[in-house]
A and B are shown apart, each in its own frame.
Chain A
Amino acid sequence: MSDQQEAAFEFHRVTVVRAGRRVLDEVTASVPAAGITVVSGPSGAGKTTLLRLCNRLEIPDAGVVSYRGQPLDELDPLALRRRVGMVFQRPAPFPGSVAGNLAVARPDTGTAEMSAALERVALDPGLLDQEARTLSGGELQRMCLARTLITGPETLLLDEPTSALDEQPKLVFESTARALAAQGIAIIWVTHDDAQAGRVADRIYHLRDGHLTVAAAGEARP
């Protein structure tokens, strides 16, 4: 399959040391530019660090991270972050309305485009004028996803986006992400929830003690 061959991210001997500990230890791997790639592993295994390297909120102490064949330190970080969006574990709404939040991503976004972004993440466009901080946890996390979609990313980084959500909003988020993947957005999804990994992943990588390994076929969803 050609989409399996094109890589979104490539890690070459990537090492990250924090407070004397090797959080990532010479990780070498390739993440395809299609479907949902789940990175699973126990907490503290370095999953979040791996993700933060991908849009350069952190840089490795050694090794090279490349996006679509180009080393990240040769790319403009601001442009990279618009091509590679990120949704964090804890939703971080900005003060103000939902529309105001979406406008942070791109100030000239029109109402129609904002409504479309909310619909893509299964939110009611009627929420645009609502104060963002009054949304429920599930709505808030999907608003953050919509905010990221406004920048038109090719790739999404999801850092345990449903860890604070109940079962129902968790499933809504998962189907939203699957729909985005079907629309051609490559997703790297970090989770420690094996059941979730099985539901959403096209492929699963395990991160343990700073080492990344590809899981056996069959763990991912059929």
Chain B
Amino acid sequence: MNNTVSWLGLAVSLLLAAVAAGISWWQRLGLQREILVAAVRALAQLLLVGAALTLIISPGRSIWWSWLWVAAMLGYAATVARRRAPDIPNLLSLALASFTAAAVVTLGVLFGLHVFPLTGRTLVPIAGMMIGNSMTATILAGRRLTDELRDKRDEVEARLALGQDSRQAATPYVRAALRAALTPQIETTKATGLVFLPGAMTGLILAGTAPLQAVLVQAVVMFLVLAATATTTVVIALGLIRRLFTPDHRLMHLPAPADH
């Protein structure tokens, strides 16, 4: 049994965007235009991606097109991370390295151990989930670590002055940053199914998949996201330490961010 949304159905659902715009108009929020632009823009982007995905994952198409798509997602996510956290030095190359590490770990387990068959139809969405979720955790971990080392410079230099190397001196702050970045994901994982139904599962059920199958897929996705966030954040944190300290164990000057 497959439920499909018709073009007419899509048009009707735009009524819901109109409701949001109507509330904005009624309450004089001045957001009507933005709401409509956002809705139309999201729709256009999704349609474009849908068309591209249709091309890429259609049966008979080489899997290399899917890998190319994944590589493009990695690169794009790294530039987004850098744009959203410009105060973290060298974030572009570090984010690229950390997303790649997470991809190797997660895709290696899921496809190497045959949890899913390796096809464009499985590779592209799974890599997308992995990268999308890692990006937030990456920025969180990178920003927290940079802030900690800047704000607690006295403590860090006191540790260095006692003869600790930069790795040892940074350890308490790396831990704090990793905890801060991973905790929201752990909380989400704990609440899954009780408080909210996650997107992948909801989508599958709506599309007509049997609930048990949808749940199994969702569980795999959750574990994927856990592993991906843990991998990306640890790579970012350890990589940043190498860049924020000099080889002779001095903490570099860390300018305060312009705003945030």
Contact = CB atoms under 8 A, between A and B. Distances in A.
Contact of B155 (A73, A77, A92): A92
Interface in B155-192: 155, 157-165, 172
A151 B163 contact: yes
B249 A92 contact: no
Interface stretch (A7-15, A23-31, A55-63, A115-123): A55-63
Contacts of A147: 162
B217 to A, nearest CB: 43
Nearest to B163: A82
B34 interface: no
Contacts of B259: none
A88 B250 contact: no
Given A56-B248, A57-B250, A81 B162 contact: yes
B154 A105 contact: no
Contacts of A179: none
A104 B161 CA distance: 11
Interface in A78-101: 78-79, 81-82, 85-86, 88, 90, 92, 94-95
Nearest to A18: B253
Contacts, number: 55
Interface residues of A, number: 25
A92 B163 contact: no
Interface string B224-260: 0000000000000000000000001111000000000
Nearest to A78: B163
Contacts of B162: 81-82, 85, 104-105, 147-148, 150-151
Contacts of A64: none
A148 B162 CA distance: 6
A209 to B, nearest CB: 23
A198 B251 CA distance: 34
A57 B160 contact: yes
B158 A79 contact: no
Contact of B158 (A56, A73, A77, A144): A144
A191 to B, nearest CB: 19
B160 A104 contact: no
Contact of A90 (B154, B159, B249): B154
B254 to A, nearest CB: 14
A104 B169 CA distance: 10
Nearest to B246: A59
Closest 5 CB pairs of A and B: A82-B163, A92-B158, A92-B154, A86-B161, A81-B163
Given A88-B157, A148-B161, 11 more contacts: A57-B161, A57-B251, A58-B250, A78-B249, A82-B163, A90-B154, A94-B158, A95-B172, A104-B159, A104-B164, A105-B163
Interface of A: 55-59, 73, 77-79, 81-82, 85-86, 88, 90, 92, 94-95, 104-105, 144, 147-148, 150-151
24 contacts: A57-B251, A59-B248, A73-B248, A77-B248, A78-B249, A81-B161, A82-B163, A85-B162, A88-B157, A88-B158, A90-B154, A92-B154, A92-B155, A92-B157, A92-B158, A94-B159, A95-B172, A104-B164, A105-B163, A144-B158, A147-B162, A148-B161, A148-B162, A151-B163
